[in-house]
Amino acid sequence: MTSTSAKQRAADIKLLAIITTVVLLCGFFIAGTILFLTRGGAPGPCGKVNAGSLSDLVPRAATAPSFVAFGGNCQYWLALRDGRLVAIKTRISKLDCHVDWKPSDNHFSCGGHEVTYSQLEYYPTALGTGEFKGSWIVDFGDERATTTTS
């Protein structure tokens, strides 16, 4: 083996070690980021969420109430009440029960008992403006203060 071959081999090994180290560090960084972003625990605040286009939501709600979940505790029942879209909370705090839609009976229930629209709790909603014109906004507020599921 010549001196030039030995120097080239040493340089190749050094380069390979550097590349391997960089790849491993990047892998650990990505794995750490994934673990950080997907860790359990209480969800943060949902805030205001663009729930979608009015032209899509109104016909869907007119057919029957539907359950909408954005992840975590950002959930609600989409329904029409007196011709207006409403975002019904998935829990009635006064009755300490979960809200469910009974399509066969055509009513909401909570803890197995029928409830009226006046007994349900609602999230504030608004029509989108500016670049969100034509959309419907649901304001979940801070989910740490407003429980929607247990």
CA separation for the pair 145, 119 (Å, rounded): 20
85 touches 62 (CB < 8 A):
no
Amino acid at 135: S
CA separation for the pair 136, 133 (Å, rounded): 8
pTM of the predicted structure, to 2 decimals: 0.63
DSSP state for residue 77 in the 8-state scheme: E
> Could you read off the pLDDT of 51-70 as tens digits, one per residue?
999 889 999 999 999 999 88
Lowest mean pLDDT among 36-40, 78-82, 87-91, 129-133: 36-40
Write down the mean pLDDT value for the chain. 83
Q: Write down the pLDDT at residue 48.
A: 87
> Could you read off the pLDDT of 117-145 as tens digits, one per residue?
999 999 999 998 888 888 999 998 864 44
Determine the straight-line distance between the first and last CA of the chain, rounded to whole angstroms. 72
> Could you read off the pLDDT of 97-114 as tens digits, one per residue?
999 998 888 899 998 899
